[in-house]
Amino acid sequence: MSVKIYFFAGLREALGVSSETLALPTDVTSVAALRDHLAARGEPWSALASTRNLRVAVNQQMVGFDTALHAEDEVAFFPPVTGG
């Protein structure tokens, strides 16, 4: 199964990539497992596991990290942001 992953704001800058398509190992079936899989790449990817208040959307809907992933899903990670 593959998914399209998007990274926004400070995450995009830290990772140096705005998106990627990734074929997932069979044990990566949830958003949390995807986050952990990406974080296991090491620096700077480990920021995904340590960023507090990280938000995620699947197919343009905000979801929790326990959300199941399906083939061809679009997953977007958003770091916490402030406005003013």
Show me where the domains of the chain are located.
2-78
What Cα–Cα distance (Å) separates residue 29 from each residue in 40, 46, 63, 80? 16, 19, 14, 24
5-39 pLDDT, tens digit per residue, is 999 998 999 999 999 999 999 999 999 999 999 99
Residue 83 has pLDDT above 80, yes or no: no
Distance between alpha carbon 6 and the CA centroid of its chain, in Å? 7
Residue 82 reports pLDDT greater than 80: no
Task: Report whether the peptide linkage leading into residue 25 is cis, meaning its omega lies within 30 degrees of zero.
Answer: no
Nearest Cα to Cα of residue 30 among 55, 52, 54, 63: 63
Question: From CA 18, how far away is CA 8, in angstroms rounded?
Answer: 7
Task: State the pTM of this model.
Answer: 0.92
Mean confidence (pLDDT) of the chain? 93
* pLDDT interval class at 50 (50, 70, 90): confident
CATH class of the region 2-78 = alpha beta
